Chain A
Amino acid sequence: MKTQFGILIILIISQFGFGCGSKDNSAGDSSSGGGIIKTVPVKDLGIGPISKVELGDAIDESMAAKGKELFDLKCTSCHKTDKRFVGPSLAGVTERREPEWIMNMILNPEQMVAENETAKQLMMEYTAPMANQNLTEEEARSVLEYFRTLPADQNQ
Chain B
Amino acid sequence: MKKAFITLSLAALVAALPGCGNAGKKGGSSGALSGNAAERVYVAPGEHDEFYAFISGGFSGQLAVHGLPSGRLFKVIPVFSQDAEKAYGYNEETKPMLETSYGFVPWDDAHHPDLSQTKGVIDGRWCFINGNNTPRIARIDLKTFETVEIIEVPNSAGNHSSSYVTENTEYVVAGTRFGVPVPQRDMPIDEYKGNFKGALSFIKVNPETGKMNLEFQIMTPGFDYDKAHPGRGKSHGWFFFTTYNTEEANSLLEVNASQHDKDFIAAVNWKKAEEYMAQGKFKTMPARYAHNVYSEETHSATSTMMNEVKILDPAECPGLVYFLPTPKSPHGCDVDPTGEYIVGSGKLSANVTVHSFDKMLDAIANKKYDGEAYGIPILKFEDVLAGQVVQPGLGPLHTEFDADGNAYTTFFISSEVVKWKLGTWEVIDRKPTYYSVGHLMIPGGNSQKPFGKYLVAMNKITKDRYLPTGPELCQSAQLYDITGDKMVLLSDFPTVGEPHYAAGCPADLIKPNQTKIYKLEENKHPYATLKAEDARVERDGKNVHVYMTMIRSHFTPDNIEGVKTGDRVYFHVTNLEQDYDVPHGISMVGANTSELLIMPGQTETFVWEPKNVGVWPFYCTDFCSALHQEMQGYVRVSPAGSTIPLKWSLDGE
Contacts and interface: CB of A to CB of B under 8 A. Distances in A.
Contacts of A134: 517, 578-580
B554 A133 contact: no
B533 A86 contact: no
Contact of B552 (A72, A73, A131): A131
Given A78-B551, A129-B625, A134-B517, A73 B533 contact: no
Nearest to B574: A77
A73 B533 CA distance: 9
B551 A73 contact: no
Contact of A74 (B520, B533, B552, B651): B520
A131 B579 contact: yes
A76 B333 CA distance: 59
A121 B551 CA distance: 22
Contacts of A135: 578
A132 interface: yes
Nearest to B576: A77
A78 B532 CA distance: 9
A73 B554 contact: no
Interface string B509-539: 0000000010011000000001111000000
A55 interface: no
Interface in A54-98: 72-74, 76-78, 85-86
B23 interface: no
B578 A132 contact: yes
Given A72-B533, A132-B578, A77 B521 contact: no
A77 B549 CA distance: 8
Contact of B531 (A73, A127, A128, A132): A73
A78 B576 CA distance: 10
A74 B521 CA distance: 10
Contacts of B580: 134
A127 B552 CA distance: 11
B533 A132 contact: no
Contacts of B627: 127-128
Interface string A7-51: 000000000000000000000000000000000000000000000
A127 B553 CA distance: 11
Interface SS, B side: loop
B520 A128 contact: no
Which of B530, B552, B580, B627 has its CB near the most chain A CB atoms (within 10 A)?
B552
B620 to A, nearest CB: 13
Contacts of B577: 131, 133
Nearest to B579: A132
Contacts of A72: 531, 533
Contacts of B579: 131-134
B552 A129 contact: yes
Contacts of A132: 578-579
Contacts of A74: 520, 576, 578
Contacts of B531: 72-73, 76-77
A129 B627 CA distance: 10
A124 to B, nearest CB: 12
Interface SS, A side: loop
B625 A128 contact: yes
Nearest to B533: A76
Interface string B575-589: 011111010000000
Interface residues of B, number: 23
Contact of A133 (B530, B533, B578, B626): B578
B556 interface: yes
A1 to B, nearest CB: 21
Contact of B532 (A77, A127, A128, A129): A77
A90 B578 CA distance: 20
A132 B552 CA distance: 11
Contact of A128 (B517, B576, B626): B626
Interface in B539-579: 549, 551-554, 556, 576-579
Interface string A108-132: 0000000000000000000111011
A132 B580 CA distance: 9
Given A76-B533, A77-B549, A127-B627, A86 B520 contact: no
Contacts of A133: 577-579
Contacts of A73: 520-521, 530-531
B548 to A, nearest CB: 11
Contacts of B556: 77
A133 B551 CA distance: 11
B650 to A, nearest CB: 9
A77 B532 CA distance: 5
A129 to B, nearest CB: 7
Nearest to A78: B551
A53 to B, nearest CB: 22
A8 B23 CA distance: 58
Interface string B612-645: 0000000000000111000000000000000000
A132 B516 CA distance: 13
A76 B532 contact: yes
Contacts of B578: 74, 131-135
B448 to A, nearest CB: 39
Which of B553, B576, B651 has its CB near the most chain A CB atoms (within 10 A)?
B576
B579 to A, nearest CB: 4
Interface string A127-147: 111011111000000000000
A129 B552 CA distance: 8
B176 to A, nearest CB: 47
Contacts of A86: 552, 554
Contacts of B530: 73
Nearest to B550: A77
B578 to A, nearest CB: 4
A132 B582 CA distance: 10
A74 B520 CA distance: 8
A87 to B, nearest CB: 10
A74 to B, nearest CB: 6
A78 B531 CA distance: 11
Contacts of A127: 626-627
A108 to B, nearest CB: 12
Contacts of A128: 552-553, 625-627
17 contacts: A73-B521, A73-B531, A74-B578, A77-B532, A77-B576, A78-B552, A85-B651, A127-B627, A128-B552, A128-B625, A129-B626, A131-B578, A131-B579, A133-B579, A134-B517, A134-B580, A135-B578
Interface of A: 72-74, 76-78, 85-86, 127-129, 131-135
Top 7 A-B residue pairs of the complex, sorted by shortest distance between their CB atoms: A77-B532, A133-B578, A132-B579, A77-B551, A134-B578, A77-B576, A76-B532
Given A129-B552, A134-B579, 17 more contacts: A73-B520, A73-B530, A73-B531, A74-B576, A76-B531, A76-B533, A77-B531, A77-B549, A77-B554, A128-B552, A128-B553, A128-B627, A131-B552, A131-B577, A131-B582, A132-B579, A135-B578
